[in-house]
Amino acid sequence: MSTPEREARPQQSPSPSSMSMRDLLASCVAAAAVSTPPREPSAVAVAQAAAAAAASQRPHAA
């Protein structure tokens, strides 16, 4: 059962001017981050990760 107060006020969607440019840009960045698939790692990143893994597995000299 709806109340007369709710029927009297029409639903208002936010107008473009009610959103700040900062909020608009932040929403665009968030949407792009969510919708963009992850990239393949570069050959340099793979080589660096392999070198770091190999270095961490070597015994340390006392």
For residues 7 and 42, the model is more confident at 42
Contacts of 41 (CB under 8 A, 6+ apart): 49
pLDDT (mean) for 39-61: 86
Residue appearing with tokens 């440019």? 21
Tens of pLDDT, residue by residue over 10-37, are: 677 666 678 899 999 999 999 999 998 8
* pLDDT number for residue 14: 62
0.95 exceeded by pTM: no
For residues 59 and 46, the model is more confident at 46
Q: Nearest Cα to 28, choosing from 36, 38, 40?
A: 36
Percent of residues, the chain, with pLDDT higher than 90: 40
